[in-house]
Amino acid sequence: MPTQILLLDDVDNVGHKGEIVTVKPGYAFNFLIPKKFALVADRNAVRRQKRLQEERRVKAAEDKKAAEEVAARLNGTAFTIEVKVDHDGHMYGSVSSLDIVHLVKSQSGIELDKRSVPLKHPIKQTGVHDLTLRLKEGVEALIHLKVLVEGAVEHEEPVVADEAQQ
């Protein structure tokens, strides 16, 4: 039997702070409530809902403003990463979301969350890749990632693949 809970914090794939949602009892009583992410939705919790929703609106506005500032700094920025390739030109390994997060932090000083870089598959080709970053509150930024052969002289390469994820 599903359990109704009041969220005290944003929970991915469940809801936002101040919402009353229905979840499975095990998830509610074994994870959300002990971690203080939620309360059972009784009369007292419903009274707290308005205050929590107002706090959520304020936080959402702050997060959106901060994400728009980050997006303005990142939009159109090119980042370069060097990778090792074998004698046939195939990459050893790949470039993952976490690699891109570290690259953006080291080259621009902007900290991103791994979930902000949605790749369907890790990048396994050299060249220029256009990536759409998903920041907080639905804000997006487009960056260009140049994947170059380690030790090669950088030159303008044609766009090999468009990695912008939907």
pLDDT tens-digit map of 139-149: 999 999 999 99
Could you give the number of structural domains in the chain?
2
Residues 33 and 89 occupy one common structural domain: no
Given a cut of 90, whether residue 2 has pLDDT beyond it is no
CA angle 160, 162, 166 (to 5 degrees): 165
Residue with token string 């907080």: 136
Residue 50's domain spans which residues? 3-70
98/154 same-domain check: yes
Claim to verify: residue 86 and residue 151 sit in the same structural domain: yes
User: Which pLDDT score is estimated for 42?
Assistant: 87
| pLDDT tens by residue, 53-90 | 888 899 999 999 999 999 999 999 999 999 999 888 88
**Is residue 99 located within the same domain as residue 119?**
yes
- 98 shares a domain with 115: yes
pLDDT band at 164 (very low <50, low <70, confident <90, very high): very low
Contact 81, 149 (CB under 8 A): no
Q: How confident is the model at residue 112 (pLDDT cuts 50, 70, 90)?
A: very high
Selection from 11, 57, 55 nearest residue 36 by Cα:
11
Is the entire prediction scored with pTM above 0.85?
Answer: no
Q: Is 120 exposed, middle or buried (0-12, 13-18, 19+ CB in 10 A)?
A: exposed
Please determine, for residue 106, whether its predicted confidence score (pLDDT) is greater than 60: yes
Query: Which alpha helices (H) appear in the chain, and where do they start and end?
Result: 25-27, 43-74, 97-108
Question: Which residues are CB-contacts of 94 (< 8 A; sequence separation ≥ 6)?
Answer: 122, 123, 124
